[in-house]
Each structure stands twice: as structure tokens, then as C-alpha cells.
Amino acid sequence: MAEFNIRSDAVDVEQIMEQLRARLQEKRGVDYTEDQIRELANVKLDRFLDPKNVRSDLLEHFRRQNERSYAAADESMGVPAFEPEDVYRSSRGGIGRVLHALRRLLRPILKLFINPGPLLESVRNLSTHARLNEARNRRRAELDVLMYEVLNNLVVEMTRLAIDMKNHRMRVESVAARLDFDERRGRALEQIVQFRTNAAPSESGPAGDVAPPHDSNGESGGTDKRRRRRRRGRRRTGSNAAPAAEASAEAAGAREEAGASTPQNAGNEPAESAGPGSEAGAEPSGDTSEP
């Protein structure tokens, strides 16, 4: 970042201002002028007005309206323009021109009685305002149609977004529930492993011989096969299912070694997420229930 280098004995204001602007430029990344910022804002608005599903020429309509908005004020509208001279004119062709000249000649006499100047000026102003208002109303009406279309598109998009959001919320809730279940299962498995390390030495000798040998599918006996068949239809797929299944099989083997289901794991469901890669994933007991 540009640092200020100011020598007290020789100050140059223009140089300081240059440094100051360079510093600002570095801060902002680029030194935008007010006009540039407005231009950027317009670009954003253009993008907003021109999404894929909006009528393709809507943006053009808006732009055209904007260009016409100021030019239209001077155009001839339904309300005729009024000039102070109009009150002296006549619409009767040749006689009208004579009348006009006559009235102009007699105008000083009229001015002896009243001063029509302020009156005519006021009428002229009213006429101008009326013309402007008419032009404005016409523009407004045309813009309203376009605004309605934009509004309609906005409502459609908002509804779509609201539905999407609802779906996403439900998906998040589902994922949270599964996560919660996995955590509980993990805790249950930890307790089983703890139980095995505590219980095995008392019944089967050394800890290394506690678990019977499992095959690669984690099968450990006829009982396990029966249980596995019963629950196969409810298993889901999952990339992280295999390790969990192996752990479950290990846990089942450990319990068979122990001879019966233990009170510690009643109510736990460690094998719920076992996938096709671990079809042989064993259930610790048949009377457990899923959450």
C-alpha cells in the first residue's frame, strides 16, 4: 500500500492528493468515479432484468422507455401548446389574420384596463405543466405494463426459490438425523469393543484368541446368516458402510464368543448403514429396533 511521504518543509498539496488517491485506489482495487459506480449499478440492474426466463426484449423495452422519458416532454402531446400570442389569433383564415393584426394593434388599449401579462404567463405555465403531466402519465402507463411483467417474473422466481429452500431444509434435516444415528452407533460400537476387551479373557483365555476367524465378508456362523437375510432388504448404500460392517461383524463375533447378548448394547443398532460391499454385516441381536 502506498505510504504517505510528507516532508514538512516542502509540502506539495497536489502530490499529497495524488498519494492519497493512490492509497484509496489500492484499498478499493480500482479507483471508480461516481459515474463508473453508477454504470456498474446499471449493469447489475441489466443483468437482473435479463435473466433467462424473462421476456427477451424486456430489457430493450426498459431502455427505450428510459430514452424516451425526457425526450417525450418536449414533444407535441394531446394538450396543445399555449403561447401568450394565441389569445390574439383567430382561426378564420384570411379574415383571421386581419383580426389578429387588429387585435395586436389594439393591445395597448387593452393594457390600459388590465395587464394580461401575468394571466397569460400563468396560463402558459399551466399548459406546460399539463403537457408534461400528460407525457408523464403516458410513460407511466407504458412502464406499468413492463413493471407488472418484472413483478410477475419476480414472484415466480421467489416461489421457485421458496420451494427449493423447503426441499433443502428437509434434506438437511434428513442428513442431520442420519448423522445423529451414526454418532450413536459409533458410541455403541465403542462400548462393545470395551466389553469384549473386558469379558474375553475370563472365558476364552488370552485376548488375542477371543474372536473366531471371520472370512472376508464378515460371516461368522449360521445364526448370523439367518439374521443377515432377514434385514438385507432394508440396507442402504453408502461409501463408508464397509468399515462399519466390518466393525459390526467383529462385534457380533465377539458377542458370540461371549455366548449371549449383553445388556449394554440393548437398543443400539450398529449395522444400519452397512452397504452392498458388506452384505455379511452382522446384527448383534435380532430384537434391537431402529430409530
Q: How far is it, in rounded angstroms, from Cα 234 to Cα 36?
A: 62
Q: Which of residues 21-80 bind another protein (CB under 8 A)?
A: 21, 23-24, 27-28, 34
Q: Between 12 and 67, whose beta carbon lies closer to another protein? A: 12
Size of the residue set binding another protein (CB under 8 A)? 19
Residue choice 1, 2, 3, 6 for contact with another protein (CB under 8 A): 6
Short-list 218, 212, 214, CA closest to 280: 218
Q: Which stretch binds another protein (CB under 8 A): 19-27, 64-72, 147-155, 166-174?
A: 19-27
- The nearest distance, CB 27 to another protein, in angstroms, is 8
Interaction between residue 13 and another protein (CB under 8 A): yes
The Cβ-side half-sphere exposure at 278, using a 13 Å CA radius, reads: 26
Angstrom distance (rounded) from CA 224 to CA 212:
13
Please, what is the minimum distance in Å from the beta carbon of residue 79 to another protein?
Answer: 18
Map the footprint of another protein across residues 104-123, applying CB under 8 A. 121
Task: Please name the residues in contact with 197: beta carbons below 8 A apart, sequence gap of 6 or more.
Answer: 207
Q: Give the C-alpha distances (Å, rounded to integers) separating 94 from 84, 103, 192.
A: 21, 14, 118
Of 8-16, 62-70, 170-178, 265-273, the window that binds another protein (rule: CB under 8 A) is 8-16
Does 16 participate in binding another protein (rule CB under 8 A)?
yes
Total length of the chain = 291
In DSSP notation, 161-178 reads HHHHHHHHHHHHHHHHHH
Q: Are 245 and 281 in contact (CB under 8 A)?
A: yes
Instruction: Specify the stretch interacting with another protein by CB under 8 A; choose among 10-18, 96-104, 202-210, 237-245.
Output: 10-18
> How many CB atoms sit inside 10 A of residue 228's CB?
22
In whole angstroms, the minimum distance from the beta carbon of 51 to another protein comes to 33
Out of 1, 3, 8, 91, the residue judged to bind another protein by CB under 8 A: 8
CA nearest 290: which of 234, 245, 207? 234
Residues in contact with another protein by the rule CB under 8 A: 4, 6, 8-9, 11-14, 16-17, 20-21, 23-24, 27-28, 34, 121, 125
